[in-house]
Amino acid sequence: SSADAGVVSVKSMPAAPILLPEGPWKQIPGGVTAAKGFKAAGIYGGLRAKGEKPDLALVTCDVDATAAGAFTTNLVAAAPVLYCRHILDISETGRAVLINAGQANAATGDAGYQDTVECSNAVAQLLHVRPESVLIESTGVIGQRIKKEALLSSLPKLVASLTSATEGADSAAVAITTTDLVSKSIAVETEVGATVVRVGGMAKGSGMIHPNMA
């Protein structure tokens, strides 16, 4: 495990067996950092109710990336969902996704929305990008606001931990988990036209799972 207090080795969580459909692609290491231009990090920011598993993740792109999103159609949508839907309404690109685990920031009203805006603006400042290019995802206990002070004070270390190496993707995939028993991260390489292209991703989820996203 790392000597740096609070940065728990990502070995603390096994990786899910990825059951990748067959096709003209090959699986490669790297998850969200496999594609060119992306970096990621996952650290312990003191957000989880208990334990010191990483709980704060950041995925960044070196350039303005074309951005798309799909969001729950649950009417009691969490603040980060409302915020991201607004961002993708006004902007076609994005530069970063901040993800916190521990508190869902759902059913938290105007104060919860304000927390989301503040966290996004703080990341934008540290990355020297426009505030509307930072998207946010949250997961955890519904009804609880984000531990904002702990989150904001962890951001400099999170940004400093960003790397395009596989470790960045692996630690981010652990940091977004809640009741998951395994982390979920995958990347593939294929040819689009005459160019080698990579597609990667990470996900979390184990309970309250019946997505109806649009």
Partner 1 sequence: TMLGVMTTDASVATNIWREMVRKSVSRSFNQITVDGDTSTNDTVIALASGASGSTKISSLESSDAQQLQACLDAVMQGLAKSIAWDGEGATCLIEITVSGASNEAEAAKIARSVASSSLAAVYGRDPNWGRIACAVGYAGIHFNINDLRVSLGDILLMNNGQPLPFDRYAASTYLKEAGQIHGTVNIDISVGNGHGSSKAWGCDLSYDYVKINAEYTT
Site for partner 1 in 162-201 (CB under 8 A): 172, 176, 178-182, 184, 186-188, 190-193, 195-201
Site residues (CB under 8 A) for partner 1, limited to 67-106: 67-74, 76-78, 80-81, 84, 92-94, 97, 99, 104-106
CB atoms inside a 10 Å sphere around CB 7:
18
Which lies closer to partner 1 via its Cβ, residue 4 or residue 10?
A: 10
Give the shortest CB-118-to-partner 1 separation in angstroms: 18
Span interacting with partner 1, options 3-11, 119-127, 134-142, 152-160, rule CB under 8 A: 134-142
Give me 53's structure tokens: 């598993």
The DSSP letter of residue 33 is G
Among 3, 5, 24, 90, the residue binding partner 1 under the rule CB under 8 A is 24
Give me 151's structure tokens: 């989150």
Span interacting with partner 1, options 1-9, 23-31, 123-131, 145-153, rule CB under 8 A: 23-31
CA 44 to each of CA 29, 70, 96, 111, 135: distance values in angstroms, whole numbers, following the listed order: 23, 27, 19, 24, 20
59 binds partner 1 (CB under 8 A): yes
CA 93 to each of CA 63, 67, 208: distance values in angstroms, whole numbers, following the listed order: 9, 5, 30
Give CA–CA dist 77/70, Å, rounded.
12
The β-bridge partners of 94 are 65
Span interacting with partner 1, options 2-10, 124-132, 140-148, 152-160, rule CB under 8 A: 140-148
208 binds partner 1 (CB under 8 A): yes
Give CA–CA dist 116/1, Å, rounded.
31
R_g (Cα) of the chain, nearest Å: 17
Span interacting with partner 1, options 2-10, 66-74, 114-122, 148-156, rule CB under 8 A: 66-74
111 binds partner 1 (CB under 8 A): no
Which lies closer to partner 1 via its Cβ, residue 3 or residue 137?
A: 137
